[in-house]
Amino acid sequence: MKLRNHLVDGAIRFPRTVVVGTVLVVVALATLLPRLTVDTDPESMLPADNPARLFHHLAKKEFNLHDMLVVGVVNESNANGVFQARSLERIYKLTRRIESFDGVIRDDVMSLASVDNITQGGPGVVRFAWMMNTPPKTDAQARAIRDAARNLPVIDGTLVSKDGRAAAIYVPLRSKSDSHRIARKIEKIIAGFDGSDRFFITGLPVAEDTFGIEMFRQMGIAAPAAGLIVFLLMLLFFRSISLVIAPMIIAILTVSATMSLLVGLGYTIHIMSSMIPIFLMPIAVANSVHILSEFSDLYSRVRDKEKTIRLVMDDLYQPMLYTSLTTAAGFGSLAFTPVPPARVFGVFVAIGVALAFIMTVTFVPAYVVLLNDRQLNRLARTTHTHEDNWFSRALESSSRFTLVRWKSILAVTVVIIAVSVYGIFRIQINDNPVRWFRGHHRIRVADRVLNDHFAGTYNAFLVFHHKAAADSTLIHQSVDGILANARNRGIHLDTEWKEAVRKATRGNKIDINLLISAADDDLDNSEDSAYPVWEDIVNALEKTASRQRFFQSPAALTYIEDMQRDLAASNLVGKSISLADIVKTVHRELREGNAKHFTIPGSQAGIAQTLVNYQSSHRPDDLWHFVTPDYHSANIWLQLRSGDNQHMAAVEERVARYVDAHPLPAGTNLNWAGLTYLNVVWQNKMVHGMLNSLLGSFAIVFIMMLILFRSMSFAILAMLPLSVTIAFIYGVIGLVGKDYDMPVAVLSSLTLGLSVDFAIHFLERIRAVCRETNNWNKSIAIMFREPARAIVRNAIVISVGFLPLLISPLVPYNTVGFFLATIMIVSAAVTLLLLPALMHPLRKKLFRGQLPPDQEHEFVTEAGRRTLRNATIAVLIGAAVLFAAAQARSQTSPRIATIIDRANQTAYYAGDDGRASVRMTITDAQGRTRIRQFTILRKDLADGGDQDYVVLFSRPAGVRGTVFLVKKHAHGNDDRWLYMPGLDLVKRIAAGDKRISFMGSNFLYEDVSGRGIDEDTHKLVKTTPGQWVILNTPKDPGSVEFASWTVWIDRKTYLPVKMEYVDNSGTVYRRIETLAVQTIQGHPTATKMRASDLRNGGNTVSEFRNIKYNIGIPRNVFTERTLRNPPRSWFRRR
Amino acid sequence: MSRHYFVLAAIFIVAIALAAGGSPALARNDATGKSWDNQESAPAVEIHGFAESSGSARLVGDATTSRDYPLGKARLRLDIAHYADRAEATLKLDFVRDAITREDVFSIRRAIVGAHVATWLDVRAGRQVLTWGTGDLLFLNDLFPKDFQSFFTGEDDEFLKAPADAIKLSGYFGAFNVDVVWSPTFEPDRYIDGTKLSFFSPSAGRRVSAETMGNAVHAITPDQTLENSEVYVRFYRTVGSAEVALYGYRGFTKEPVAFHQAAGLPTFSRRNSGGASLRGNLLGGIASIEGAYYDSENDRNGTNPFIPNSQVRGVVGYEKEIVKEFTVGLQYYAELTTDYDSLLAHSPWPAWEPDEVRQLVTGRVSWWLKQQTLLLSAFGFISPNAGDSHWRFSTSLKWSDNVTFVLGSNLMFGNQWTFFGQLHNNSNAYLRLRYAF
């Protein structure tokens, strides 16, 4: 027996069980919903390990860059704009308030009230004074502030508008996800100001964050509104509330089951997955409308609900199966795009489609059977009167039209396709998250006004990185002496040295970093006698390498300056700021403010001197936004007036061409960072990914059609409506000049999946009808009764039903509304007009010999073949969906063991070794403080394995000179030694318990060196957009004082953010928090942590400074020698 | 007398001023704020130190002395250091006003110049405190000078180690490391000479002190010749988590246990020693074992009653933190005098000679409380065969990072001729107050 009969028969025979069972399953799934987590960051469009995304974060950390929102202040009613005492006072007050907000990087807030004015203080002296220490008393003072600010290239156009009438505040945020909240708080303050100043808030972070928030609001409004209209339209067509409720129930059940599954499987709701309900609703409704339409038409004749529904299902099961399969294939193909959220979206829409199909073929028949006859009789009466209403008559007349005017129809189609193809070639690929809001939205208004006045509120960063490539003579000079000395002592290392050089040679250059690591390897493998020589060699090489403060050289700065000049000339960039601008400004002021000295000093020493001068300003750290302290990396901050990807791409192109024409200094490479740039990267991936998945699913749908119709001609016919629809829609997009953006890209799969549906229904039915009637004209006439009515009803219900989306303030929702309406109307029109018109001249060939084909095949029956084929398809598709789901899952949410492992690596094994200065401030319950200050060196013997630590105390005086050496064993007890300088005693410490106080602080030894992963069982209890929450329960509860501990791990950095320890009574008695994080040499590092004793009071704050990784500490530093004679060079060198 | 206090006060003030000027670290010692940022570059010369006042009182009447207080000191320590990458110079100066001897003492506790000559060689020359070995307050191979007067009168454990003028070469090789210490002149222990502590004199047959003897014990030290210089050697390496070491020493007994017949005074006799130790993790604690052979070069067959016999010494120890912040340590120590029969046969006071095998059991309990600001500790030496014992109790409170109070006692019991029993009358309780900067 066929699957179809099983399903349908079962539903008809046990209707109550099916209805109640379905509802119960969905309700059970819905219990998963509370685990919902949300991530609206467009950055997540890129996989977490995408190189561009990683680089962006690296650059952000390297240069202490933060996502910023921009507050602009404009005054149109005053000739001097905001440069009057009252307005500046407001800016002053606003700045101070903003600085006090939680989540704002206080020290990096850029405002006239927080930056320095740079002026000359006599020859060779430069003076730094607050630009606006107190609000100006008079308008003249306000104008003086404007003139001073305009004289500083770094802030002219950024904090002061080019026309000198508006001012801006740049608010750097700790986290993008705070931007909406902070923007709200700023708006609240602004609302309290009187006067004629107008304040605007914009910037990509606030646009993106606001979009995420509004998106969910829309999800709550648009989807129910669409549902209501769909319901009303169906009521209009079928006039029976009880019947029309069925598709609504299926829509609700499908959406809720799919979303529950998505949440339950641990996926976060992203911008794209939030649109799943909107997509699933029309798809879920569509099949039911076909059933209801056919049922209401047939019932008036058959008058037996069971018999009618069986007839209906016989007719519709096959086409519904195929429409569902094609739709699922269309969305499922998204699983192969390189965009993780698109994968999740595609896979779950496909799952939803499958769920909708199963419910349609079981729930709807069961539901219909449960209706009482009185209700159905009323339905029969109303539909019977419908049989000859205007709607049916219009359809029937169009059947004659298609046959008579088939040539005109074909001609019009050809013209439409030609125009569409022209349109397609005009498609502009472009996106800009700010444009996801409608034009009148306050963010768009702010965006327009501020970019009109200022150099641009969109940021991109051009990051230069110089790989210190010392020239080979220098390298040899530094090492030759050491080798010669060694030779005199009978140690011959020349062969090894040459081999190391050979290994480090790339092309005809020696890469000094490679050479150092090669020499390091030799050091590790060397014999005792050679060991010191290799050590000297490594030290000498490092010295040579560190001599290369490249971005302090005139050559490097001049290159940057020239590139900026080129960018300025291109008019693509509102403004660019770099280290060169700072150097030039300070240099000018050093030379008595003379504008002709607005140049880069000619020597490295000169540059270094200007920078030293700059360091005495109130914001010395601003320098590190433009160059790294080692002067190996520098960047140009570009301000763009538009966040359009096209614009950004043009800038990128311009820079690429410039670099082609003016090669980068040797050893230097160039990369992009910044949100504006990241949007370009993910969009490119999206466009190509979507195009590939579209082509792929087009091919899959075609193969399905071949299987369904077992006829090349019918398969090609089936593909026509969807091809024409896609061509038409994208043609229109190209012609009206709408950008091909994220929502448009996603919708291509919807177009493909939905627009083939009508063709399947139509062709499947017309074949059956032809077989029955053996008469083409008669068949067409029949087709334009129930089948055509079902198609048109469907088209109207869905296209009109989703019109509410058009009034949403979010553009992607408008786009979905437009697409749904167009898909439905165009594909219905193409199916009902083009297909008959095309089949008419081909009818002889198409229906040649009306013999059922199964008579020609003797060995396999038709029914058996179909079952086999359907089963194969189901298995294949099932496998593909599962594979894709697994693929998507593995990309978005790593396994818990991986999280723990990586978190452990990040927190305790960054780099191969490292050094940090640490200060612990221990505050006891009475508020008394004690200090432990020390330098800590660490070397990993194996990643995730054994480590050596050595700690040299410098404070308090009583423990000064105390050295603490730990050989941490990942498995087994650590070895610990303490050197007490007063006693000259190396004491070995009994290390019975790792959970005792580290040097009297609230940190435990285990907090310092890490707790063994194997000692606990781990459970991922929650995934938030930013963090994983993991509950850890000790395997041996007797060995520890806690019952369990919970760790919050940052999903981006993998750093533990918070740890809480719970005792047996369930009380949190101990907490460790990460208070500050910096990325140091690419390693996210907690630089400030607090351990609190919640039971007895008191806490310890640990601050880490001078952190450096991979400094190449030799193993012999971690020995008794170090305990007695700490090698100061390792402890001091920075 | 008041003049001395003026001098001390003046030195103290100068030192504070110096330290404040010379060392930003010091000036901001108590600052909890942001000063840390600016403190990154270490000062060229670091000056630290402490001022300490300490005193102890006898708990048992001592007929041999009129002094009820074995200890009464005001001490100013200046610790001046300069560290370069490959060299260092450090100076530890003590300005002490001793209320017992009524002396103002200026002593150099440490004055060294150190250099990292090569990656495999460190050199330190000058006055320095040195230690090695694994015993806890028991010294077998650690024959560097000790100060037992301080040890029994209630001074900080730091002062148990006396400085020596020496050159120390440390070699680091892959297979092993070696320390060679050469002390050009013999530096004896600061032995109990009767000035502050009374002791048992076998010749007198009772406890004596400087007051009863008329003067403090004066021992004849070996001539300051190259031949009489001391050499200490240690070879060591770590195997897995176990530390293995071999020791050697050529010099003299550190106590005046020999007798110079011509002068009629105690003196020091030649002693060479060799030994080995092993220390490592065992059952979650630290186990150690150490042995040494003392070769009495001038009395190898034990016939000379004026020269101590050769000895074999051994100790095994185990220390474990049994409860959080609560550590217990146990040691068993045995000291075997060779040719004991010969010793007794030639001894003028065979009744008072120690046993052939002197045994000691030591126990230590350390309990850190109040986040390691309060330390309660007890240490006991018990000799099961001689029946004497020594108990050290102390309570140490770190009031703040700078201020530490220590209250404790040293109690000695046993027959008057036994090792600890002779010191019974010196049992004392002490109080120390230290301000570190």
Cβ pair A84, A142 in contact under 8 A: yes
Beta strands in A989-1080 (DSSP E): 1016-1023, 1027-1034, 1044-1050, 1056-1062, 1068-1080
Report pLDDT for B382: 93
Q: What is the dihedral of CA A407, A413, A416, A418, to 10 degrees?
A: -90
CATH number of the domain at B348, please: 2.40.160.10
DSSP 8-state class, residue B322:
E
The encoded tokens of residue A645 equal 């990807």
Distance from CA of B390 to the nearest CA of A (A): 21
Q: How many whole angstroms from its chain centre is CA A766? A: 47
The rounded distance, in Å, linking the Cα atoms of A396 and A394 is 6
Taking the alpha carbons at both ends of chain A, their separation in whole angstroms is 79
Find the residue in A nearest to B371 (Cα): A1000
Cβ pair B223, B208 in contact under 8 A: no
Share above pLDDT 90 across residues of chain B, in percent, rounded to a whole number: 36
The rounded distance, in Å, linking the Cα atoms of A26 and A508 is 68
Grouping H, G, I as helix, E, B as strand and the rest as coil, residue A156 is strand
Report pLDDT for A892: 44
Distance from CA of A919 to the nearest CA of B (A): 8
CA-derived radius of gyration, chain A: 36
Q: Give backbone dihedrals phi and psi of A737, rounded to 5 degrees, phi first.
A: 80, 20
Q: Domain span at residue B239?
A: 3-436
Chain A CB contacts of B120 below 8 Å:
531-532
Cβ pair A1044, A1032 in contact under 8 A: yes
User: DSSP alpha helices (H): ranges in A710-785?
Assistant: 712-736, 742-755, 757-773, 776-783
The rounded distance, in Å, linking the Cα atoms of A88 and A1104 is 39
Beta bridge partners of B334: B314, B359
Return the amino acid letter for A784: F
Count: domains in chain B = 1
* Position B407 pLDDT exceeds 90: yes
Q: Is A595 left (phi over 0), alpha (psi -120 to 50) or beta?
A: alpha
Cβ pair B181, B171 in contact under 8 A: no
- Smallest Cα–Cα separation from A207: which of A47, A39, A442? A442
Cβ pair B165, B183 in contact under 8 A: yes
Distance from CA of B407 to the nearest CA of A (A): 18
Check CB contact under 8 Å for B29 and A956: yes
Distance from CA of A344 to the nearest CA of B (A): 47
Distance from CA of A916 to the nearest CA of B (A): 11
Which residues, 6+ apart, have CB-to-CB distance to A653 below 8 Å?
none
Return the amino acid letter for A1074: T
Distance from CA of A69 to the nearest CA of B (A): 29
Beta bridge partners of B336: B312, B357
Chain A CB contacts of B36 below 8 Å:
919, 933, 1103, 1105
Helix (H) or strand (E) holding B109: strand B103-118
> Could you tell me how many CB contacts below 8 A there are between chain A and chain B?
155
Check CB contact under 8 Å for A922 and B371: yes
Q: How confident is the model at residue B30 (pLDDT cuts 50, 70, 90)?
A: very low
- pLDDT tens-digit series, residues B300-331: 888 888 888 999 999 999 998 888 888 899 99
Partner residue facing A957 (CB), from B50, B132, B173? B50
Check CB contact under 8 Å for B50 and A1125: no
- Smallest Cα–Cα separation from B219: which of B199, B192, B182, B247? B192
Residue ranges of A 961-1000 with Cβ closer than 8 A to chain B: 967, 969, 973, 975, 982-986, 988-993, 995-997, 999-1000
Q: Residues A910, A916, A920, CA angle at the centre, nearest 5°?
A: 115
Comparing A29 with B156, the larger pLDDT belongs to: B156
Q: Residues B432, B436, B437, CA angle at the centre, nearest 5°?
A: 160
Report pLDDT for A431: 80
The rounded distance, in Å, linking the Cα atoms of A725 and A559 is 52
Comparing B408 with A157, the larger pLDDT belongs to: B408
ipTM value > 0.90: no
Return the amino acid letter for A217: R
Q: How many whole angstroms from its chain centre is CA A1038? A: 43
- Smallest Cα–Cα separation from B319: which of B291, B292, B281? B281
With the C-alpha atoms ordered A283, A285, A287, A293, is the resulting torsion angle positive or negative?
negative
Cβ pair A682, A42 in contact under 8 A: yes
- Give the side-chain half-sphere CA count within 13 A for A649: 14
Residue whose pair of structure tokens reads 């103002």 in the numeric block: B104
Partner residue facing A957 (CB), from B32, B48, B158? B48
Residue whose pair of structure tokens reads 């929502």 in the numeric block: A743
Beta bridge partners of A670: A464
The rounded distance, in Å, linking the Cα atoms of A430 and A441 is 20
Residue whose pair of structure tokens reads 């704009």 in the numeric block: A81
Least confident of A545-549, B18-22, B174-178: B18-22
Chain B CB contacts of A1121 below 8 Å:
122, 170, 172, 177
A956 touches chain B (CB under 8 A): yes
Comparing B389 with B44, the larger pLDDT belongs to: B389
Helix (H) or strand (E) holding A235: helix A204-238
Distance from CA of A1093 to the nearest CA of B (A): 11
The rounded distance, in Å, linking the Cα atoms of B371 and A615 is 41
Task: Kindly give the pairing relationship between strand A985-988 and strand A1016-1023.
Answer: unpaired
Chain A CB contacts of B156 below 8 Å:
982
Q: Residues A386, A392, A396, CA angle at the centre, nearest 5°?
A: 150
**Residues in chain A with pLDDT values less than 50:** 1, 851-861, 864, 886-893, 1134
Grouping H, G, I as helix, E, B as strand and the rest as coil, residue A747 is helix
Chain B CB contacts of A1128 below 8 Å:
83-85, 88
The rounded distance, in Å, linking the Cα atoms of B44 and A986 is 27
Total residues belonging to chain B:
437
Q: Please count the other Cβ atoms lying within 10 Å of the Cβ belonging to residue A862.
A: 12
Cβ pair A756, A702 in contact under 8 A: no
The rounded distance, in Å, linking the Cα atoms of A941 and A948 is 7
Cβ pair A118, A585 in contact under 8 A: yes
Residue ranges of A 499-538 with Cβ closer than 8 A to chain B: 527-528, 531-532, 535-536
Q: Residues A308, A313, A316, CA angle at the centre, nearest 5°?
A: 125
Cβ pair A911, A1107 in contact under 8 A: no
Report pLDDT for B292: 95
Check CB contact under 8 Å for A931 and B279: no
A924 touches chain B (CB under 8 A): yes
Which residues, 6+ apart, have CB-to-CB distance to A246 below 8 Å?
A288, A292, A363, A364, A367, A368
Distances (CA, A) of B178 to A1116, A1123, B236, B246, B415: 14, 15, 6, 9, 43
Residue whose pair of structure tokens reads 């999903």 in the numeric block: A1051
Find the residue in A nearest to B49 (Cα): A957
Q: Give backbone dihedrals phi and psi of B297, rounded to 5 degrees, phi first.
A: -55, -35
Distance from CA of B82 to the nearest CA of A (A): 11
Report pLDDT for B151: 92
Check CB contact under 8 Å for A958 and B279: no
Find the residue in A nearest to B124 (Cα): A1125
The rounded distance, in Å, linking the Cα atoms of A988 and B102 is 40
Return the amino acid letter for A323: T
Find the residue in A nearest to B328 (Cα): A990
